[in-house]
Homo-oligomer: A and B are copies of this chain.
Amino acid sequence: MTTVKLWNDAEAEADPRVKAVFDDIRATRKSDFVNNFWRGLAGQPELLAATWNRLKAVMVAPGSLDPLTKELIYVAVSTANGCSYCVHSHTAAARAKGMTEDQYAEFLAVVGMAFQTNGLVTALQIPVDPAFDASTGAS
């Protein structure tokens, strides 16, 4: 169940603003597959375009972090935010970008460790050590 209609290809084809985004998704990813997130956003064409354009700039354009690392960061955030869909889609993306099962096991271990210490630190209300402060620009 969703709170919006998921647009099929015929519906997307009929709205030029949606068609333009779906075409760019397919061209950028070199695949005919358009996943449900974009089909759910299609009813809000301005938001659809803004979201896709920003995603392309952040996740697809080459930069100083490699594509797999970016996907792992994405899955980490999505896990802690409890976004089931995002965990699924970006874990699949991480595998598509070459994540090995050894790397995934290590990723999971780090996530488990971070959750554990997040809980302990919050329960204990530990004050930040002055050594960690970067506000003076000395970092």
A-B contact pairs, 25 of them (CB 8 A): A1-B88, A1-B128, A1-B135, A3-B124, A4-B124, A5-B135, A5-B136, A36-B127, A40-B124, A54-B116, A59-B110, A65-B72, A72-B73, A73-B110, A76-B80, A77-B110, A77-B111, A77-B114, A79-B123, A82-B83, A88-B132, A107-B123, A108-B124, A115-B116, A115-B119
Among candidates B44, B59, B119, B139, residue contacting A4 with C-beta atoms closer than 8 Å: B139
Smallest CB-CB separation from A105: which chain B residue? B44
- CB-CB < 8 A to A82: which residues of B? 81-83, 122
**8 A Cβ contacts from A40-77 to B:** 40-41, 43-44, 46-47, 50-51, 54-55, 57-59, 63-65, 69-70, 72-77
Give the B-binding residues of A (Cβ under 8 A): 1-6, 33, 35-37, 40-41, 43-44, 46-47, 50-51, 54-55, 57-59, 63-65, 69-70, 72-92, 95, 100-137, 139
Q: Is the interface of A mostly helix, strand, loop or mixed?
A: helix
Within the oligomer, what is the number of copies of this chain?
6
Q: Are B123 and A111 in contact (CB under 8 A)?
A: yes
- CB-CB < 8 A to A55: which residues of B? 113, 117
A90 to B82, CA, bound (A): 18
